[in-house]
Amino acid sequence: MLRPEHPSPRSLAGFVQEFGIEVTGAVDGLEISGVTLSTGDLHPGDLFVGVKGFKGHGASYAAQAREGGAVAILTDAEGAELAADAGLPILLVENPRLALGEIAAWVYRTREHPPLLFGTTGTNGKTSTSYLLEAVLRQLGLVTGLSSTSERHIGDLTIVSRLTTPEASEMHALLARMRESGVRAVAVEVSAQALTHHRVDGLLFDVAGFTNLSHDHLDDYADMEEYFQAKLPLFQPELSKRAVVCLDSPYGVRVVEEARIPVTTIATIGHASAEDVAGADWTVEILESAPAYTEFRLTGPEGRSLVTREPLIGWHMAANAALGIVMLVEAGFELEAIGAALDADGGIRAYLPGRTERVSGDRGPQVYVDFGHSPDAFENTLAAVRQFTTGKTIMLFGADGDRDASKRSEMGRVAAQGSDILVITDHHPRFEDIQQIRTQLLAGAALAEDQPEQILEVSPPEAAIVAAVGLAGEGDSILWAGPGHQDYRDIEGVRTPYSARELARAALREAGW
């Protein structure tokens, strides 16, 4: 957990008075310098927050929190009983998780001189938009921060992420650390789960962005409607000042209709409906597609336009880049200044780990690793890879265990429809039977109207990538979808070290490439 290196302690008695909290025990003379939900992240001087979870109650760790230097426990009525013998002051609230964002904001003073905050949500493209937006900010000369599925950035410091959007206590600690480092603007990837579980509470985004919505996360939400509703809080005045909404998926129009903040719209020619393109405030037109970049024109109100390149393949990546640029314009940056900065650098200069990342050399088959794990992501990325493949397109993928099983059939169908050879393997099985997962993917692949030349089932993935490379030659491409930037596999609760990048490179070397 990233925290400020020089915290400014706050009075516990002042905290109690500020929030009108019921207290058991003495708080006079005590100070708090941090907030945490976990004894593993506890620092002396922390306020320990005990939250009821799926497997137990955090307040049951009150004694360990005291041993670690916690100053007080904040919890609910059930937690207060569990923490009664810990010997620490107990602060009682009805819903600790709901209160966590406001509390962390107060403790870390994140509302004092906040940076520009950009929050992006959607099924696909959240990470890409966040990275591309941050890259443009850097090219404009700002010290930047990033919180994404892949990494956290504080200026030039990079740390691997644990959650797409961290808990509210960690989010505010991260922002406080960024303030110490002179960060002026921050791009935050906001998941549906983050909104449902109040991980971005206490923040006020200057601009929110919406990419798209498609089949995913139906293990957490009952249906697509509930999943859509989970995204909407980001487009209300409690969390954001204004928004930019992409109309490339049908849900974009609904976000515009249900948002209670000013909204600017953007649509991609040839991918949004003609009606939505005509009605959008901004449009994106793909001008050139190449293996190393996609060039596009962004046109807005009063005919203002910008032509630039982003360093990734696929129209959807250009749409993500354009969304990020319009979010910057909505925050007050001049389009002309953005264009001049990008022209000087030959386009957007960004590295996106595990997003259609080429890990092969100049000879032999091209191998891409990608984090995409939904049918829509498969369709767009396969199409992008196929566009620059003169030979066969080989798709390699598995599916998460103990996650949304309802999308597996469609993942298999889309993968089979878009590839010449399909290799089905394992991903994160967690506690689910790996054979059962592969069987569901194979059943979906059988539904494709255009069947690939071959469909192989190879386990484990270490063997699957060797098999895929063995089937490939010069001019062929392999898309390995799912692992992307991740450096582990989750097998029965154990994070086993694992790198798709290194496995792919090793397989290529072994094959003589």
Residue 505 has pLDDT above 80, yes or no: yes
One domain for residues 203 and 329: yes
DSSP per-residue letters across 132-169: HHHHHHHHTT--EEEE-SSEEEETTEEEE-SSSS--HH
Q: 162 in a domain, yes or no?
A: yes
One domain for residues 361 and 339: no
Q: 297 in a domain, yes or no?
A: no
Structural domain count of the chain: 3
Closest CA to 461 of 432, 439, 429: 429
Q: How many CB atoms lie within 10 A of CB 453?
A: 11
Q: What is the pLDDT of residue 163?
A: 63
Q: Which CATH number do you get for residue 362?
A: 3.90.190.20
Tell me the residue range of the domain where 214 lies: 116-267+315-345
The answer for residues whose C-beta is within 8 angstroms of residue 443's C-beta and 6 or more apart is 409, 412
Q: 306 in a domain, yes or no?
A: no
One domain for residues 433 and 456: yes
Q: 275 in a domain, yes or no?
A: no
Query: For the segment 132-183, what is each residue's pLDDT rounded down to a tens digit?
Result: 999 999 999 999 999 998 899 999 999 887 666 789 999 999 999 999 999 9
When the pLDDT of each residue in the chain is averaged and rounded to a whole number, the result is 95
Query: For the segment 221-252, what is each residue's pLDDT rounded down to a tens digit?
Result: 899 999 999 999 999 999 999 999 999 999 99
Query: For the segment 87-139, what is each residue's pLDDT rounded down to a tens digit?
Result: 999 999 999 999 999 999 999 999 999 999 999 999 999 999 999 999 999 99
Rounded CA separation 423/455 (Å): 6
For residues 181 and 128, is the Cβ–Cβ distance under 8 A? no
Q: Which CATH number do you get for residue 50?
A: 3.40.1390.10
Q: Which CATH number do you get for residue 121?
A: 3.40.1190.10
One domain for residues 438 and 483: yes
Q: What is the pLDDT of residue 443?
A: 97
One domain for residues 62 and 160: no
Q: 446 in a domain, yes or no?
A: yes
One domain for residues 252 and 122: yes
Rounded CA separation 190/164 (Å): 7
Which pTM does this prediction carry?
Answer: 0.91
One domain for residues 155 and 199: yes
One domain for residues 16 and 132: no
Of 68-72, 304-308, 448-452, 481-485, give the lowest mean pLDDT range. Answer: 481-485
One domain for residues 128 and 261: yes
Rounded CA separation 330/335 (Å): 10
Query: For the segment 387-412, what is each residue's pLDDT rounded down to a tens digit?
Result: 999 999 999 999 999 999 999 999 99
Q: Which residues of 477-508 are buried (b: 16+ CB within 10 A; e: fewer)?
A: bbbbbbbbbbeebbbeeeeeebbbbebbbebb
One domain for residues 222 and 363: no
For residues 172 and 188, is the Cβ–Cβ distance under 8 A? no
Q: What is the pLDDT of residue 348?
A: 98
One domain for residues 53 and 155: no
Last residue of a domain, one of 345, 366, 398: 345
One domain for residues 320 and 419: no
Q: What is the pLDDT of residue 180?
A: 96
Identify the band that residue 54 occupies on the pLDDT scale cut at 50, 70 and 90: confident
Rounded CA separation 342/460 (Å): 43
